[in-house]
Amino acid sequence: MSTINWLFYVNFAIFSVFLALFITELMGAVLLLVDYEHARKPVLAHVVPIWEVTGTFAAFWVVTADFAYPSMLIPVATLLAAYIVVFLILIVARNASISFAEYIVKHRWLDEKKLYQAYAISTLGIGIVVVIILSAIVSGAGVTLSTLSFSIVGWITNPGSLPYLLGVLVIGVALAPVFYGIEGLRRWTLPLASLGVGIEGAALYLFSPSFLSSWFLVPAVLTVLPALFFQFPKFAPIVTNKIVFGAVAALIIFSQTYLVYPTAFHGGIKVDSVTTQGPMVGAFLVLTAVGIVVVGGLMVLYLVVVTRSPGRATATPSPSVPTGVQHP
Amino acid sequence: MSFPMVNFDRFLFAFTVGSHILLVSLSIGLGILISAVEFLAARSSDKYYRGLARRLVRPFVVSFGIGTASGIVMAVELVNLFPGFMTLVSETGVIAIFYVEIFAFFLETIFVVVYVYYGKTFTGRYTRWLLTVPIVAGTLLSAVLIVMVNSWMNTPNGFNIGAYLSTGQVTGVNPWAPFFTTSTGYEVFHVLSAVPLTGLMFIGGYFSYRYFRAKGTDERELFLRGLRITAAASFFFVLIAVLSGILEIEGLYTYQPLKYAAIELNPNPGTNLAITLFGSVSGLSIVGGIQIPGLQGMITHHAELPGLSQFPSADWPPLIIHDTFDVMVIGGAILGLFLLVYVGLWIAHRRPYDRPLFAYGMGAFSVLTAIIMEFGWATDEIGRQPWVVYNVMTVNHAANYSTGLLVPGILIVAFYLFLVPFTFYFMVRVFNGQALEVDLEGPAAGSDVNY
């Protein structure tokens, strides 16, 4: 293997794009639950045309992870089997509720609002499961590698776990108004983002002081920056731009590779030693090069169509009255 | 505890795939139909074709959304339920097929999004139709690639199998070989005809019923146009399915003779063997069933045909695959005859769609087509048992024995038992979600999304 583990970095880059897209949905989900009438228009304008793409990136990441770490499949399936099935149920619930919501005509008690909120709840559920699994992979909280077992009680009782989950939620709530351009919540974004980053730092320290290295400054600064820019009308349009925000979010996630490389599960597993070897490395890189052209080309096409589209060209009028909402 | 868990893994995956292929067939059928309707709408500027496209997009998005989710469930379940199998897949080139599948998936997804949510912004006469072409290509390519994986499971290649069986180590990997196994061509050809056939028959059955019960001229014209396309396309695909099915039997004779002997219920090898419809084997004799002497030799063109006695009985698949195979073949033959008469009468201007027998018959045959496809899939999968990778890895070696899967697995089953029927019901509801006049006179398809 070369000195740089390209398979790890490619897989992590795909994961970063998936998670960045998913986080934008997650932030929308929070707003749909908190204030549906005001959030409906800006949130759905983003979420409805993007949720299928998020799901496709999730599948992309799963397949590249299978490709890169074949020897980890049995341990992961044994460790996290039950949680992965819960994740799957939530994925189906998410897709079902949003695709039903897109076309439902009110029928007795079931209407568009209830279905979009069901989508929001399942998306939040997925977010929580993802955070639990990711934090376990980073810190080893609740994980006993020698017996390949995972205990949710063990995860909860680790001092870093709940603060980690809380920190993610606070950051999500802080940046949601930035991404969706909700000016009424402008003044809350910077203090909440700073608080979230502080909680995340504390959580990582509680997991292990070694996680709080100078690398942490990169995601920390990148997280606070959008909230800071949002305070100034001159700079706000930069960070409310969906593409810019998405790119920054992906960069924030990618900058945290140090938490799982060169070792994951808090030193429990050396990533290089579980990465595929031999001719499969060449095949992975060839297919990834093809993928960059194919998927990259398709994403460019998608972005061109979205950015050149005159607003929500095919949307029906919203039943809501969005006061104080800046439309994308 | 290990025995029940491996069977639970089997059941859960079979249940998920059995549900998934119904949704995907409908998705592929809808995709093909929407593309055809958009083309005809562009060529003729016919308001009924335009209205039909607008109506079809709504159930298509629903089936795409649910189908995508159940596809992800399947992909993750493979790792979760059969980690030993996925480890072998990931150490050989088979994972490369899954990788390419993702590109097909992206092609489909991006164009679905552009066509559905931004389609109105394209004003060229044929542009909307052109947007549907990559959708159809993406869905069909996804089907082709997943069948390639199944072909590899039936006829594995691309690594040193002998060394793997003796040492458990994967060596001599050729990452590209699994794209082209000895069974790939046969399987891909057959699935590419059977899956669109199922989806189009589903839709055709519904159109036939709705046409027959239609109240006004607009409704009749709309459903008649839909029925014309689905009937013609179904007839085309059933012909291809028969041809590809015969070729696949030929292929089985060569690459999986044991499976061939089991589905044909040949206790002993021989020449000019009879076709046995149903029946069973006791010892090495056939009990019951209907025998048609000499027909097997005529169909396969081979003098010497394999029999079960040539193989150790421990390797035999469950012989129920003979019955599932017979249901598939007999059902397919009856379906083919029905469509032949239906299309023949239509060509002769005898208006089969106005006759109750054919109108309701089309509906009944749409259900039969789904049953045929499920039985065909069961024949293939059960016929490979006890192997997950033929002659390389058994299901027992591949499975996950964690009992932690039990409760969430049952939850998935319960959820699907509610979701799949509800999805079909909901698709019908959204198809009829707007008054017909609105769909006929309104803007292009995809313009009625709630957002």
pLDDT digits (tens, 9 = 90+) for B107-122: 999 999 999 988 888 8
B320 and B349 part of one domain? yes
B245 and B306 part of one domain? yes
φ and ψ of B225, to 5 deg: -65, -45
Domain annotation covers residue B207: yes
| Local structure of residue A264 (DSSP, 8 states) | E
Which residue is listed with tokens 């439309």?
A327
pLDDT at position B3, please?
Answer: 52
Local confidence band at A321 (pLDDT 50, 70, 90 cut-offs):
very low
How near does any CA of chain B get to the CA of A165, in Å? 23
Helices A112-139, A6-34: axis angle to 10 degrees equals 140
Facing residue for A305 by CB, picked from B81, B114, B412? B114
How near does any CA of chain B get to the CA of A315, in Å? 6
SS3 of A110, please?
Answer: strand
Facing residue for B62 by CB, picked from A86, A100, A284? A100
Domain annotation covers residue B264: yes
Domain annotation covers residue B166: yes
Helices in A180-216 by DSSP H: which ranges? 186-207
Distance of CA A118 to the CA centre of its chain: 19
| Local structure of residue A196 (DSSP, 8 states) | H
pLDDT at position A241, please?
Answer: 92
Domain annotation covers residue B388: no
B346 and B409 part of one domain? no
Domain annotation covers residue B123: yes
B268 and B124 part of one domain? no
Q: Which tokens belong to B342? A: 């239906």
Facing residue for B76 by CB, picked from A50, A84, A96? A84
Q: Which tokens belong to A72? A: 């980890």
Contact at CB, A91 and B173, closer than 8 angstroms: no
Residues in chain B: 451
Last residue within a domain, chosen from B383, B408, B429: B383
pLDDT at position A319, please?
Answer: 37
Last residue within a domain, chosen from B339, B357, B383: B383
Task: Please name which of B155, B122, B139 lies closest in space to residue B68, comparing C-alpha atoms.
Answer: B139
pLDDT at position A311, please?
Answer: 55
B167 and B225 part of one domain? no
pLDDT at position B185, please?
Answer: 96
B144 and B279 part of one domain? no
Q: Tell me, what amino acid is at A7?
A: L
φ and ψ of B158, to 5 deg: 85, 5
B237 and B155 part of one domain? no
Mean pLDDT of all residues in A197-224:
95
Q: Which tokens belong to B152? A: 């590899």
Mean pLDDT of all residues in A221-246:
94
Q: Which tokens belong to A211? A: 């996680």
pLDDT in tens, A1-19: 457 899 999 999 999 999 9
Report the number of distinct structural domains present in chain B: 2
How near does any CA of chain B get to the CA of A320, in Å? 11
pLDDT in tens, A54-76: 999 998 998 999 899 999 988 88
SS3 of B326, please?
Answer: helix
pLDDT at position B446, please?
Answer: 59
pLDDT at position B451, please?
Answer: 67
CA–CA separation, B209 and B359 (whole Å): 6
Does the ipTM surpass 0.85? yes
Domain span holding position B104 = 1-180+397-440+447-451
Mean pLDDT of all residues in A197-221:
95
Contact at CB, A294 and B173, closer than 8 angstroms: no
Instruction: Kindly list the residues from chain A whose CB atom is less than 8 angstroms away from the CB atom of residue B100.
Output: 287
In terms of CA atoms, which chain A residue is nearest residue B105? A56
Contact at CB, A63 and B113, closer than 8 angstroms: no
The model carries a pTM of: 0.90
Last residue within a domain, chosen from B334, B354, B383: B383
Q: Does A280 touch chain B (CB under 8 A)?
A: yes
Chain A residues 77-96 within an 8 A CB cutoff of chain B: 77-78, 81-82, 84-89, 91-96
Handedness of CA B410, B415, B420, B421 (dihedral sign): positive
Domain annotation covers residue B389: no
Query: Does residue A209 contact residue A238 with C-beta atoms inside 8 Å?
Result: no
Contact at CB, B101 and A63, closer than 8 angstroms: yes
B224 and B361 part of one domain? yes
* Interface with chain A: mutation pick from B66, B100, B117, B423, highest number of A CBs within 10 Å: B117
B175 and B201 part of one domain? no
Chain A residues 98-117 within an 8 A CB cutoff of chain B: 98-105, 107, 112
Domain annotation covers residue B67: yes
Q: Which tokens belong to B410? A: 């049952």
Mean pLDDT of all residues in A260-269:
94
Q: Which tokens belong to B366? A: 């749409």
Handedness of CA B231, B236, B240, B243 (dihedral sign): positive
pLDDT at position A328, please?
Answer: 31
Cis peptide before A262 (omega within 30 of 0): yes
In terms of CA atoms, which chain A residue is nearest residue B20? A92
Residues of chain B with pLDDT under 50: 1-2
* Interface with chain A: mutation pick from B6, B16, B90, B426, highest number of A CBs within 10 Å: B90
pLDDT at position A79, please?
Answer: 86
Domain annotation covers residue B391: no
Instruction: Kindly list the residues from chain A whose CB atom is less than 8 angstroms away from the CB atom of residue B112.
Output: 52
pLDDT at position A103, please?
Answer: 87
**B346-351: long-range contacts (C-beta < 8 A, 24 or more apart)?**
B346/B228, B346/B231
pLDDT in tens, A108-167: 788 899 999 999 999 999 999 999 999 999 999 999 999 888 999 999 999 999 999 999
Size of interface A-B (CB pairs under 8 A): 239
pLDDT at position B444, please?
Answer: 65
B124 and B86 part of one domain? yes
Query: Does residue B439 contact residue B54 with C-beta atoms inside 8 Å?
Result: yes
pLDDT at position B206, please?
Answer: 96
DSSP string of B212-262, one letter each residue? HT--SHHHHHHHHHHHHHHHHHHHHHHHHHHHHHHHHHHHHHHH-HHHHHH
pLDDT at position A96, please?
Answer: 93
B135 and B212 part of one domain? no
**What angle (nearest 5°) sits at the alpha carbon of residue A262, between those of residues A261 and A264?**
65
Chain B residues 148-207 within an 8 A CB cutoff of chain A: 173-176
SS3 of A146, please?
Answer: coil
B401 and B311 part of one domain? no
Instruction: Kindly list the residues from chain B whose CB atom is less than 8 angstroms away from the CB atom of residue A123.
Output: none
